[in-house]
Amino acid sequence: MHPVSRPPIGVLALQGAFAAHQQRLAELDVASIQVRRPADLDGLHGLVMPGGESTTMSMLLTSSELFDPIAERIHDGLAVLGTCAGMILLAREVLDGRTDQRCLGAIDLVVRRNGYGRQLDSFECDLALRSGTPDEPPFRGVFIRAPKVEAWGAGVEVLAEHEGVPVLARQRRITVASFHPELTRDARVHAEFVHHLEMESS
């Protein structure tokens, strides 16, 4: 019996480490395509919104005419993984952002842009993933100009914390991370996103 063939997961390829996200998905035998224009959203199984510079990404989403189609597909149930700048774009409210910065309001989070500091304040730390087993090793989180969660709604499931603050969270089909899971060789965050996507789709 042959395994069920799934549509690809799209990876927003306007800025950031989108190729690294595609590599993590490839390690899980998950097909992916780069998303640069509205037509690339057709038939996707899910979408990854990578890190980068959130205000620039907001403008690129608008200039590429992708912002509204992505918003519509999220409203229709598209599963999304947003990392770093992707978290900012998916949040309900952004603090310390530009006045013209747009966000999708897809997850009930208030996040502070560069809440963990600027480039020189980048750091790594071990994170306990709540989706894992007690004997699993920690996940090495890479934080680069990372957003910090200031508030979250009752419907948000916290999947990992750093010093009591959520850094990996999920609400329905939207998963977000303050850190860059694509910058390690550990694909567990991507695997959990794909697993949850499959469970929701079954």
Catalytic residues: 84, 180, 182
Distance CA 19, CA 39 (A): 20
Encoded tokens for 56: 């620039």
Full 3-state SS string of 4-31: CCCCCEEEECCCCCHHHHHHHHHHCCCC
First vs last Cα of the chain: how many Å apart?
18
The secondary structure element, H or E, covering residue 140 is strand 139-143
